[in-house]
Amino acid sequence: MEKLTNKEEEIMQILWKLEKAFVKEVMAEIKDEKPHYNTLSTIIRNLEEKGYVSYNAFGKTHQYFPIVKMEDYRKKFMNTAINTYFNSSYKNMVSFFAKEEKISAEELREILAMIEKK
């Protein structure tokens, strides 16, 4: 599974949300600066070449759908980030977010409760 660019990840987020979509439907979901239609079409074709999406053809137009699950992508690249940036330590990752005030004590207690239930 190849790492995606930021723009490719943004498009995949849309496809995961919509489950299947034509390029114009993906375009309608883009919140920030919208790329040119042809640029977006190229990005989606690149995602197809990388094995992330497939399509159903309707004449000359294609309806795209993800073939890689969001959970699988997230798992692969979160593990890579933890290994790369936190020395393979989930403790280091959690403490980083705590120091950056991105996670509250209450959220940490909820996580601890989830761990203790297993």
Exposure of 94 by Cβ count < 10 A (0-12 exposed, 13-18 middle, 19+ buried)?
A: middle
The predicted structure's pLDDT at residue 76 = 87
Tokens linked to 55: 């399509």
Q: Which residue has the tokens 């600066």?
A: 33
Residue-wise pLDDT tens digits, 82-103: 999 999 998 899 889 888 888 8
Per the confidence metrics, is the pTM higher than 0.85? no
The predicted structure's pLDDT at residue 1 = 79
pLDDT profile of the chain (118 residues), mean per 10: 90 97 97 93 96 95 96 90 91 89 89 89
Amino acid making up residue 44:
I
